[in-house]
C-alpha cells in the first residue's frame, strides 16, 4: 500500500518516533495568547519534517495574521520543514484569516499545508484532514463524500485511535473516552466477545452494568490497517497518525 504516513509526536517522544522512518509532524508549536508563535523546547539541530501548530486554546483571541504567518514561515525555513499541519480544535475569524494567509505563503514557497476540514474554505489547494473516528454512519460513505467534495489529491486521512464507551442509547453519539489502561481493565473484567464493524471500521463489544447497556468501540492495529486500505482503495494517498496514541501498536499498524 503506497501511502505517505506522517507521525505526529511531542518533543519528548521524538527519538523513538524517528526510528520508524516516517516524516514527523513536530507537536511543539502553539499560537500564544499574544498571537505570536510559541515553541516548546526542541533540539537546536532538529531539521526536517513538519511543524504541527496548535491554536493555543480559548486564551488566544486575535492578532495580526501576517505577523504570525511570517513567524511560522521563518521557523519553517530555519528548521527545513516541508510544511505545516494545523491542529486547530476550534474556529475564530482570526484563525481563519491566519490559515488563509499562511496558505498563500506556503503555496508561493512550495511548502505543504494540512488543515482541519472546518478550515478547508481557507485554502483551495491544502490537504484536508478527514478524521476516521466516527460513531455512526459509514466510514466508506464519509470518505466517498470527502473525495467528491475535495478530490483524492487533497485528502489526508486523520487516523484517530478510538477508545470510547457509549452508555446506550447514547443519543449524542459521543461516549466516554477510555485510556489504554481503562480499556484493558474493562476487557479483563468483562471478558467480552469482540466484533468488527464494517461500517465504523473498528472493533466493538457490549456489556451490562448498573447504569445499563454499554457499547464499547475501539481500534487496534488491525482496524487501523483496514482504515488505511479503505482509504487507499479510494485513491487517498496520505495519512496522519498521532504517535502517542499508537506507539504500542505502530509496527503492526504500519504493515
Q: Which phi-psi region, left, alpha or beta, contains residue 53 (left: φ > 0; alpha: ψ -120 to 50)?
A: beta
In this structure, what C-alpha cell is assigned to residue 255?
Answer: 504493515
Q: Sort strands 163-167 and 176-177 into parallel, antiparallel or unpaired.
A: antiparallel
d(CA 143, CA 136): 13
164-216 fold: Chitinase A; domain 3 (3.10.50)
d(CA 191, CA 12): 35
4-161+219-253 fold: TIM Barrel (3.20.20)
Biggest distance spanned by C-alpha atoms of the chain: 59
Q: What residue spans define the domains of the chain?
A: 4-161+219-253, 164-216
Closest CA to 112 of 23, 224, 35, 43: 23
CB atoms within 10 A of CB 21: 9
pLDDT (tens, 9 = 90+) of the chain, 255 residues, equals 578 999 999 999 998 998 888 999 999 999 998 999 999 988 888 899 999 999 999 888 889 999 999 999 999 999 999 999 999 999 999 999 999 999 999 999 999 999 999 999 999 999 999 999 988 899 999 999 999 999 999 999 999 999 999 988 876 667 899 999 999 999 999 999 999 999 999 999 999 988 889 999 999 999 999 999 999 999 999 999 999 999 999 999 988
Q: Which phi-psi region, left, alpha or beta, contains residue 230 (left: φ > 0; alpha: ψ -120 to 50)?
A: alpha
Amino acid at each position: 500500500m503506497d501511502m505517505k504516513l506522517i507521525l505526529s509526536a511531542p518533543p519528548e517522544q521524538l527519538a523513538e518516533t524517528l526510528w520508524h522512518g516516517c516524516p514527523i509532524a513536530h507537536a511543539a508549536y502553539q499560537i500564544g495568547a499574544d498571537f505570536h508563535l510559541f515553541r516548546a523546547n526542541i533540539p537546536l539541530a532538529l531539521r526536517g519534517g513538519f511543524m504541527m501548530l496548535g491554536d493555543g486554546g480559548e486564551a488566544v483571541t486575535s492578532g495580526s495574521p501576517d505577523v504570525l504567518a511570517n513567524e511560522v514561515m521563518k521557523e519553517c525555513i530555519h528548521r527545513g520543514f516541508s510544511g505545516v499541519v494545523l491542529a486547530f480544535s476550534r474556529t475564530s475569524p482570526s484563525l481563519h484569516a491566519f490559515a488563509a494567509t499562511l496558505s498563500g505563503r506556503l503555496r508561493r514557497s512550495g511548502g505543504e499545508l494540512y488543515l482541519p476540514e472546518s478550515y478547508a474554505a481557507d485554502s483551495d489547494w491544502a490537504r484536508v484532514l478527514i478524521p476516521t473516528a466516527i460513531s455512526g454512519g459509514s466510514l466508506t460513505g464519509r470518505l466517498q463524500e470527502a473525495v467528491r467534495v475535495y478530490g483524492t489529491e487533497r485528502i489526508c486521512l486523520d487516523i484517530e485511535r478510538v477508545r470510547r464507551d457509549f452508555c446506550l442509547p447514547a443519543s449524542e453519539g459521543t461516549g466516554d473516552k477510555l485510556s489504554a489502561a481503562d480499556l484493558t481493565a474493562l476487557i479483563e473484567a468483562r471478558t467480552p466477545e469482540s466484533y468488527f464493524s464494517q461500517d465504523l471500521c473498528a472493533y466493538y463489544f457490549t456489556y451490562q452494568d448498573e447504569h445499563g447497556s454499554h457499547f464499547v468501540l475501539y481500534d487496534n492495529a488491525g482496524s487501523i490497517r483496514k482504515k488505511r486500505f479503505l482509504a487507499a482503495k479510494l485513491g487517498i494517498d496520505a495519512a496522519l497518525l498521532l504517535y502517542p496514541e499508537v506507539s504500542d501498536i505502530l509496527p503492526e499498524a504500519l504493515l
